[in-house]
Amino acid sequence: MGEIKSGEKTRVLVVGATGYLGKRIVRACLAEGHETYVLQRPEIGLDIEKVQLLFSFKKLGARLVEASFSDHQSLVSAVKLVDVVVSAMSGVHFRSHNILVQLKLVEAIKEAGNVKRFLPSEFGMDPPRMGHALPPGRETFDQKMEVRHAIEAAGIPYTYVVGACFAAYFAGNLSQMETLLPPKKKANIYGDGNVKVVFADEDDIARYTAKTMDDPRTVNKTVYIRPQDNILTQNELIKIWEKLTKNELEKTNIAARDFLANIEHLEIPHQAGIGHFYHIFYEGCLADHEVGEDEEASSLYPDVKYKRMDDYLRMFL
């Protein structure tokens, strides 16, 4: 499983390519000049949006590869075509929760023996730091750890890309739950609103992912997406919006115990969401530890002109 030779095009297989982050990773890999393969699964059936998305990738220059998670040999054949496998399978409770399906991918990569780097589906909080997380949301971290252990036990070279709140879910709504749009009059503030949080545009997350996958500096490392200008408290994020709109919001501070009150009476996806918000906005799990420049994406790839949150919020004006 040697390194990718410089000067050669890196061949990448994207799994979960029609998903929320996956489609961005496909486009970023193509833009980066990687020879990009996309897994096309027969389970897609009559899902017209996904089928059309796959063929739009083909138009952009990606190659479609048929394989199924229920057919081990087809997966082995697919991964034998490439140097790098990146997975963007969903790991959130309100969509589909498919983290452990990646164990089949690990088996295929192990058998194929040619893959020089595997990037499993991560892109959020750093699972080894989340052993204390609240159930049922901790299931996401436990399962990601199970996948990591399998990768490392198989001796597969890896890169774990972690560390930021997706802007569309956490920034555009000023981190309000149950909406993706900025509030017009009132905003809930978690605790005192002064806990540092990391925000990143999903297209930037995809671009960093496409750059790190064949970078010798990041083999068997965790890469944190923590762009300096996007480390903001919730109060700072709201101030940016108030400055843009010239309108002050009415704010309500919610104490941690009130935020978690009655959590057990809610639907499971909602419970998971509240737990994740709690770890991000009350505990500050994204920015409460030091990260060296050699493991931080915006330092490793300064050529990516990442989107600042004032720019991001302008689209809602």
Q: Which of 207, 223, 225 is nearest to 28 (CA)?
A: 207
Scan for tokens 């949080």, then name that residue: 197
Catalytic residue among 23, 110, 144, 307: 144
**Is 144 part of the annotated catalytic residue set?**
yes
- Please identify every residue annotated as catalytic: 144
